Structure 1
Amino acid sequence: MTLFLEYFPHDLHDWLGTQIEAGGEAAERACAMVEAELESGVAFMNFRGLLHFDGHFQNILTDGERLYFADYGLAISSRFDLDPDEAVFLDDHHGYDQAYTATHLVNWLAVALHGYDPDSRRAFVRACARGVVPGNVPTALAAVLLRYAPVAAVVGDFYRQFQRESRLTPFPLEAVREVGRVGRPG
């Protein structure tokens, strides 16, 4: 047996925090790379029938040039031997990874840029979703917030309902599709 290991020096949470702290062009370049890499990484997995289900920034590694998804403990794939209920679940959740990573990016930026607590962050995300341009935020980062805040607002409401009301709350795929660029793989 041969084992190949590759070292990725940072998780996305820590690396992006350093870039945002640096500010200016470094923050804008980093955010553009993260946005593009999240989209392409999720599209790559989803096109192949794989849903990650846990794409938060401590489960994504980076060398500063690319993103590498890690920790597939919650993943599900169309290539698995799924029973009928699991197959329906998989079909009902296409778009989840796109929505999750977009939501995580928006929420992460809201906290990194302003230090918001959950209630303030929710209000900020809702304002961005309505098109209110966030103040004291570099233009490129504001554009990312405005682009994905509508999805983040819908997904945030889903999380709250799922956590506080019922674990049977269905993922709002149609609502997410209506407000964002989230859809089926391919």
Structure 2
Amino acid sequence: MILSKRTQNYTTVSNTLACMSNPQLQQVLSTGKAMHTGIGGASIQIEVENIPVFVKKVPLTVLELEPENFMSTANLFNLPMFYQYGIGSAGFNAWRELAAHTMTTNWVISGQCPNFPILYSWRVIPNSLNQTDLSYWGSIETYLDYWENNEYIKNRVESLSKANSSILLFLEHFPKNLYQQLKDTLSRGNELRSIEYLEQLNQSFETVLKFMQDNNFLHMDAHFRNILADEDNIYLSDFGLALSKNFDLSQTELNFMNSHKLYDSCSYSVNFLHGVLTSYAGADNWDKTLNEYFSNKLLIILPDNIQSVLSKHALVAEQMHRFYKEIQKDKSTPYPVFSLTKEIK
């Protein structure tokens, strides 16, 4: 979407929402279309002045609402650093997600980087009952067992389950995520267009990830369903695990950021392979498909040019995939920073 149109929509929607009382806003929200419910919150789609708006409800815990913690971007729950990885984390802090969207929105409307959805407005809504969605895990006990029964994670999740207030994030709406856009493009069977799109995708990511690195900003969960897309560009969203050196970080967190400077670039490689391979081979048995690819035993035949594009990411993707598998079993698994840095540079 052209930036001038995006900023025009921002002015219209932001001004309208700013003039609504909470009861008026609740009336608009009641007409919304449910979109998604997950461990990080729920979302709906509404219209404001005939402009589609994506609304994410992020749970606010009692601890985050205490006067001394209001708007704080500190690690309020003293969560361990392995909870930063996008392998089932419920996030560190609702205020961090808001701060990340505020920063990225400023980058968009100032013309520095267009690759994020614009935050039109936000509002704290009290007594808006939330229920942490742990359906994937079956129960809170199963979830905590997966996280090795860490007491700080337990406190975080139990606090989320009791939260009855939330931050509403009113965001620019894009109809597709990148996984859908990629699959649609590759499924058309036009090899030339597929190659052009993949090369454009790689270039777009190289540009935005470089910008994020230069601005000391990490996404930490940039799989293709957390990235929005249209025919023109990509837009990184869902900042539940985002980190910025502008946050109120401990020394441990600063050390983590320094060792993970290239993390988003490395995770892009495995997410890129996932998006392309599942577009051709289907999403079932993803691990099996990826292992077959790494061992040159893939049953489907990929066009040579597609294979060439994938091969540029293969070594980093293989290491990242192995890391993800291992850390899901053992949370003390070290991030392979040195070997990954060697491969990606």
Aligned to 1:160: 325
Aligned to 1:85: 252
Q: Percent identity?
A: 27
Query: Which has the greater radius of gyration?
Result: 2
Aligned to 1:66: 233
Deviation per residue, 1:122-163 (Å, 9 max, x gap)? 3234236xxx99972223321121100100111111011101
- Over 3 Å counting, the alpha-carbon distance change for 1:134 and 1:88 in structure 2 is farther
- Report the AA paired with residue 312 of structure 2: R
Aligned to 2:45: none
Matched, 1:178 2:345: no
In the TM superposition, residue 79 of structure 1 has moved relative to its aligned partner by: 1.3
Aligned to 1:18: 184
Structure number with the bigger relative contact order (C-alpha 8 A, sep ≥ 6) is: 1
- Report the AA paired with residue 276 of structure 2: L
Deviation per residue, 1:54-74 (Å, 9 max, x gap)? 111111111212111011110
TM-score normalised by length of structure 2? 0.48
- Over 3 Å counting, the alpha-carbon distance change for 1:8 and 1:145 in structure 2 is same
Aligned to 1:184: none
Aligned to 1:106: 273
- Over 3 Å counting, the alpha-carbon distance change for 1:48 and 1:7 in structure 2 is same
- Report the AA paired with residue 15 of structure 1: Q
Q: RMSD of aligned C-alpha atoms?
A: 2.3
Matched, 1:120 2:285: no
**Structure 2: where are the runs of 5+ without partners?**
1-10, 15-119, 121-170
Q: Distance in 2 between matches of 1:134 and 1:145?
A: 16
8 A Cα contact 1:78 1:87, kept in partner: yes
Deviation per residue, 1:19-76 (Å, 9 max, x gap)? 0100222222221111111221111112100000011111111121211101111000
TM-score normalised by length of structure 1? 0.85
Q: Distance in 2 between matches of 1:121 and 1:44?
A: 33
- Report the AA paired with residue 78 of structure 1: K
Tell me the SS of whatever aligns to 1:22. coil
Q: How does 1:43-58 map to 2 (within 5 A)?
A: 43-58=210-225
Matched, 1:148 2:329: no
In the TM superposition, residue 109 of structure 1 has moved relative to its aligned partner by: 1.5
In the TM superposition, residue 6 of structure 1 has moved relative to its aligned partner by: 4.1
- Report the AA paired with residue 340 of structure 2: V
Tell me the SS of whatever aligns to 1:58. helix
**Structure 1: where are the runs of 5+ without partners?**
182-186
- Over 3 Å counting, the alpha-carbon distance change for 1:125 and 1:152 in structure 2 is farther
8 A Cα contact 2:219 2:264, kept in partner: yes
Determine which structure has the larger helix proportion and give its number. 1
Q: Distance in 1 between matches of 2:255 and 2:272?
A: 28
Q: Distance in 2 between matches of 1:146 and 1:133?
A: 13
- Over 3 Å counting, the alpha-carbon distance change for 1:145 and 1:51 in structure 2 is same
8 A Cα contact 2:183 2:279, kept in partner: yes
- Over 3 Å counting, the alpha-carbon distance change for 1:64 and 1:134 in structure 2 is farther
Aligned to 2:201: 34
8 A Cα contact 2:182 2:276, kept in partner: no
